[in-house]
Chains A and B, each alone.
Chain A
Amino acid sequence: MKPVIELRQVHRDFQVGDQVVHALDDVNLKIATGDYLSIMGPSGSGKSTLLNLIGLLDRASSGQYILDGRDVTSLSDGEQAVIRNRSIGFVFQAFHLVPRLTAAENVELPLMLAGMPLHERRSRVAKSLEALHLADRAQHKPDQLSGGQRQRVAIARATIMEPAVLLADEPTGNLDHRSGMDVVEILETLNARGITLIVVTHDAELGRRARRRLHMLDGRIHVEQGATV
C-alpha cells in the first residue's frame, strides 16, 4: 500500500550551548494509510521531536519528508499551516482547549481558520459532538467539563477537518484509567474507520495496543515490532 508518510534519512539537530544534540539521527520511516502506530522510548529519545516533525510543527535539519505523496520538507510557514489545518489532527496530553470558548467553539476553531461558512460549520460541529456523546456539553466552557470530556472535545477538534493523520501525544497522560480507556477506544475506533493514528506514549500498556510499535533511543528507531496494515 502507498505510504501516507515517508521519512527519508531525516536528521534533526539542536544547538544546546556549544554542543549539537542529534534529536533525530537518520530516521527512515514509512507509515501506510490506516496504520496504528505507537512511538515509545525514554525521555529525550526523540519521540516528541519525531511527532512534531510529522505534524509539521518542526523542520528536519536534513533528509526528506513526503506526506500524501507530496514533498513537504521545505514548505513555507504559510503552506505548512494549511497542511496542518487540512491533513493533520493533534491530540495533546494537556488537552489545550481555549478556556474562554465553549466546547462547540473549540471544536469549530479549525473550520474557522479554514474559512468555512457559518451554517456548514454548525452542522459539522454538532455531528462531531454527537458522535463523541458530547451533544449536551456543547455550550459548556472547558472548566465545566471533566478531564475525559475535555479530551473528547479535543479529539472532536482534531478530527473535524477529517485529516489523514491523527497525532496523539500522551493522550491519556492527564486522565484516570477509565477516562483514559474511553479515549483510547475512541481513537482506535477512528483508526478502524481509516484514519492513520500515531500515538506517542510512556505507557507500555497503551503502547502495546498499537499494531505497529516503534521504540526510540538516542534519536534512532531502536526496535520496531508488529505489522503495518
Chain B
Amino acid sequence: MRIRDFLGLTTSAIIAHRLRSLLTALGIAVGIAAVILLTSIGEGIHRFVLQEFTQFGTTLVAINPGRATTAGTSMGVFGTERPLSIGDAEALSRLPFAKAVVPFVQGNAEVKADNRRRRTAVYGSGPQMPQAFSMSVRLGRFLPADDPVAPRAFAVLGSKLRAELFAEANPLGKRITIGGSRYRVIGVMEPKGTVLGFDLDDSVYIPAARALNLFNRGSLFEIDVLYRETAAVDTVVAGIERVLKARHGKHDFTVTTQQQMLDVLGSILDILTFAVAAIGGISLLVGAIGIVTIMSIAVNERIHEIGLLRALGASRGQILGLFLGEALVLAAIGGVGGLVMGIGIAWLLHLLLPALPVHTPMLYVLLAESLALCIGLLAGVAPARRAAMLDPIEALRTA
C-alpha cells in the first residue's frame, strides 16, 4: 500500500467524524499547550536569573575565606580560618592577569546627614569596584586609590540613599555620619536597580579597611578579581591559589569562578523547568486516555470495514497500521494545535505581563511534539491491535 493512500484512508476516517476527532485532538492540544506554556515560563525565569547573574561579566572570580569541600560558597565567613585581609587583596592585584581587585565587606548601619537619618546597607569596597561590576558614577567620583590600609574617610552614596538624605540638594562635600564615624561624600552612583533582591541604590560605599573597623570584623567577606579576557580561567585560579597559599601557608580559602556559579544555578533551574513540564504532562495523560477511548469506539463502529478490508486482501499488519495511523494523526493534530495555543498564550502573557519573563525554547517545542506523537502511538496500540486480531468472518457477520 502506498503512503499517500494510507494517509488518505486514515484522514478520511478522521474527517468523517469531524467534531469527535476535533475534541479528541483538543485533549492532546490542551496537554501540549500546558507543557509548552509552563516550560516557557520556567525557561524564561531561568534566563532571567542567569542574566541577572552575568550582567557583571563572566571574567569574575570570587575568593571567600574557608575551604569549601563541595562546590558552592564556603561557610568560612563564620569559621575560624585565617581571614582574608586587605593585604591579600593587594597581593592579588599585583598578578599580571588582574584587571581589577575588589575587597568586599557588607553590613548595615545608620547613616546620618544633618537631621536626616536612615538605616541602610554599607558596602566596604575598593577603588576598582565600578570597573569590576560595570557600575558608573553620576556625580563626583568613586573612592580614590588611597593607602588601602589607612584610607581617608570618604563615602559614595547610592542614588536612592542620596535622594533620601539630601533630596535635590548637592551632596558633594557634605559630611555624613556612618555608624558614629564621620565621612565626607565625594560621589553619587548611577541607579543600578536590584540584583537578586538586593537594592544596590539604597546603600553607601566606603573603603573596605574602614568598613572592617566599623563592623569590628577581622576578615573580608570576599575578594573579587576581574581578570583579562585573554587569560585562561585555569591560569587565573592557579595564580590566585599560589599567591594566597604563599601568604596563608595553607589552602584555607575558596576560589569560585563565574562559570561554576552559573553551572550550579543552571542545574537547579533545569530541575525547576523539568518539574514544571512534568506537571503539564499530567494533562497530556488525560488527552491520551481520550485517544484510547475514541479509537476503541472507532474499532467497534468499523468492525464491518475491518472485515471487508481483510476480505479485500489487507493483512493484519495493514489493519494495525491504519488504526495506529489514525491515532497518530489525531495526536499530531492535537500537537500542532497545542503548539499554536501554547505559544499564543505565552505571547499574550508577555504582552499583558511584561515583567514575567517568558521564553519558548525550540528544544521543548520539538520534545512536546514528539511526546504528542509517542502518546498517539501508545494510546493507539491497544485498539489497533484489537482491530488487527479480529477474525474477518466474525467481523463481517456482526450485525
Contact = CB atoms under 8 A, between A and B. Distances in A.
B311 A115 contact: no
A36 interface: no
Interface in A79-109: 81-86, 90, 92, 94, 96, 98-101, 105, 109
A57 interface: yes
Interface string B71-90: 00000000000000000000
B1 A115 contact: yes
B313 A96 contact: no
Given A58-B393, A78-B317, A115-B2, A100 B310 contact: no
Interface stretch (B5-13, B56-64, B98-106, B345-353): B5-13
Contacts of A229: none
Given A90-B312, A101-B12, A112 B5 contact: yes
Contacts of A78: 315-317
Q: Which of B9, B13, B15, B312 has the most CB of A within 10 A?
A: B312
B312 A57 contact: no
Contacts of B392: 57
B393 A157 contact: no
A101 B4 CA distance: 16
Given A100-B16, A112-B9, A115-B2, A77 B316 contact: yes
A109 B2 CA distance: 12
B65 to A, nearest CB: 76
B312 A110 contact: yes
A96 B4 CA distance: 24
B300 to A, nearest CB: 15
Interface residues of A, number: 31
Interface string B292-317: 00000000000011011111111111
A77 B315 CA distance: 7
A113 B1 CA distance: 5
B312 A157 contact: yes
A185 to B, nearest CB: 24
A98 B311 contact: no
Contacts of B393: 52, 57-58
A114 interface: yes
Interface string B363-399: 0000000000000000000000000000011001000
A174 B393 CA distance: 19
A55 interface: yes
A94 B399 CA distance: 10
A85 B312 contact: yes
Contacts, number: 70
B283 interface: no
B262 to A, nearest CB: 56
Contact of B310 (A81, A92, A112, A115): A81
Contact of B314 (A86, A105, A113): A113
Interface residues of B, number: 26
B44 to A, nearest CB: 45
B312 A100 contact: no
A100 B393 CA distance: 22
A68 B4 CA distance: 33
Contacts of A115: 1-2
B128 interface: no
Contact of B313 (A99, A101, A114): A114
A57 B310 contact: yes
A2 B193 CA distance: 99
A198 to B, nearest CB: 14
A112 B315 contact: no
Contacts of A57: 310-311, 392-393, 396
B16 A109 contact: no
Contact of A113 (B305, B316, B318): B318
A178 to B, nearest CB: 26
Contacts of A112: 1-2, 5, 9
A118 B2 CA distance: 9
Given A57-B392, A58-B393, A112-B2, A81 B313 contact: yes
Nearest to B5: A112
Nearest to B4: A118
A110 B5 CA distance: 11
Contacts of A98: 305, 308
Contacts of B16: 99-100
B313 A82 contact: yes
B310 to A, nearest CB: 7
Interface string B32-75: 00000000000000000000000000000000000000000000
Interface in B301-347: 304-305, 307-318
A160 B43 CA distance: 58
Interface in A114-130: 114-115, 117-118
Interface string A60-78: 0000000000000000011
A113 B311 contact: no
Nearest to B399: A94
Nearest to B17: A100
A229 B12 CA distance: 44
Nearest to A55: B311
Nearest to B14: A100
A113 B308 contact: no
Given A78-B317, A100-B12, A101-B12, A109 B396 contact: no
11 contacts: A57-B310, A81-B310, A81-B313, A92-B396, A96-B305, A96-B396, A101-B12, A109-B312, A110-B312, A115-B1, A115-B2
Given A52-B393, A84-B312, A112-B1, 9 more contacts: A78-B317, A81-B314, A81-B318, A99-B16, A110-B312, A112-B5, A113-B312, A114-B313, A115-B1
3 smallest beta-carbon distances between A and B, as pairs = A85-B313, A100-B16, A81-B315
